[in-house]
């Protein structure tokens, strides 16, 4: 279990368990995170949701994030990490799913350096590009980014940036790969088995 450490190397008050949840767009991460929260009591943190909430708050930090996004710039890792760190510290829970982060190796290295937290493991939803594309085009969420050109750009970014993060943790034996092409219920059976085995180890 990782111990959270702040930038001045003082330990945060509690030990926390962090699991990174990664997978391509349309791999079903959000659906499964909701199931894990319900079944195993984790707190679900989405980097994108935290950034959007900060913008909505109207804070100085939120305005800066909004301006960067409007100018097409990438929000610095430290900004996202500080939001994640604050959410972890302010939460009464000690078990967290961090969804869709780190997006690249720089995110990963910065997260471990700033927080002092090394994830217990990465839950990787593995799904073919064809299946993810089919799901994104079929879903009725009215999202502007669910058109074929944008979807393919998102796949390209994912393949180039996020897969190296998965490979990094895989080389350390920290990846639990889930076949996300199966039906939702079957995918959760596999997820359930991963988390049930963790709880057994903790109990032991």
143 is in an annotated binding site: yes
Which class is domain 2-186?
A: alpha beta
192 is in an annotated binding site: no
| Of 80, 84, 86, 85, the residue nearest 68 (C-alpha) | 80
| Of 154, 47, 175, the residue nearest 111 (C-alpha) | 47
Structure tokens, 40: 């195993």
77 is in an annotated binding site: no
Angle between helices 47-57 and 60-70 (to 10 degrees): 110
162 is in an annotated binding site: no
Domain ranges of the chain: 2-186
Please state the pTM of the whole predicted model.
Answer: 0.83
Inter-residue contact 39 to 28 (CB < 8 Å): no
74 is in an annotated binding site: yes
Residues 158-172, mean pLDDT to the nearest whole number: 91
Which tens digits make up the pLDDT trace of 64-74? 999 988 887 77
């Amino acid at each position: 279990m990782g111990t959270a450490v702040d930038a001045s190397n003082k330990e945060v008050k509690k030990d926390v368990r962090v699991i990174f949840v990664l997978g391509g767009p349309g791999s079903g991460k959000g659906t499964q995170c909701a199931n894990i929260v319900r079944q195993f009591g984790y707190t679900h943190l989405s980097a994108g949701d935290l950034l959007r909430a900060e913008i909505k708050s109207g804070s100085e930090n939120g305005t800066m994030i909004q301006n960067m996004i409007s100018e097409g710039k990438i929000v610095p890792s430290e900004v996202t990490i500080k939001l994640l760190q604050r959410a972890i510290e302010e939460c009464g829970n000690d078990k967290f799913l961090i969804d869709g982060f780190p997006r690249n190796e720089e995110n990963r290295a910065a997260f471990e350096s700033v927080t002092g937290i090394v994830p217990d493991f990465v839950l990787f939803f593995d799904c073919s590009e064809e299946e993810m594309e089919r799901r994104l085009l079929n879903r009725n969420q009215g999202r502007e980014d669910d058109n074929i050109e944008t979807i393919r750009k998102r796949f390209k970014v994912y393949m180039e940036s996020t897969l190296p993060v998965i490979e990094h943790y895989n080389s350390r034996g920290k990846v639990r790969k889930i076949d996300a092409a199966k039906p939702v219920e079957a995918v959760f059976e596999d997820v359930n088995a991963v988390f049930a085995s963790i709880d057994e180890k903790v109990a032991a």
